[in-house]
Amino acid sequence: MSNPVTIGSLFPLPGRPADVRSSSGSSSTGRTSDKPFEQMLQEQQLQLKFSQHAAQRIQQRGISIKPETMTKLASAVDQAASKGAVDSLIVMPDVALIVNVPNRTVVTAMEHSQLSNTVFTQIDSAVILH
């Protein structure tokens, strides 16, 4: 079962809230949220966004993004970030995605069958997952 990709929205990992922004009001204790800042920051970093272009390509190409795929993708983005990557090609068994790593935004996606004879430009890294 796959979750739909909403254009311009955050795509949370399974078990994570879709929106981790704190409330605009403050409580009598001065806190703006019930969650510790570190937990909110960690949850924010686990989320990935899909650009409008990527969402269109996923829909046009009939690509299914399952929750376990999102977990692997988030891990791959973390690996790329740890190496200082900016724009990374992430190749999975059934899909390849180009991700802007600092913004955690999927820029485009293609099926594995479309990878043959394809030249990828404007990337500085690649993560190959099995």
Instruction: Give pTM, 2 decimals.
Output: 0.67
| pLDDT at position 20 | 40
Q: Across residues 63-79, what is the average pLDDT? A: 92
Domain range list for the chain: 10-128
29-34: long-range pairs with CB below 8 Å, 24+: none
Q: Are 129 and 90 in contact (CB under 8 A)?
A: yes
Q: Across residues 82-106, what is the average pLDDT? A: 96
Higher-confidence position of 18 and 64: 64
Strands across the sheet containing 125-128: 10-11, 48-50, 105-111, 95-100, 87-91, 125-128
Q: Are 91 and 127 in contact (CB under 8 A)?
A: yes
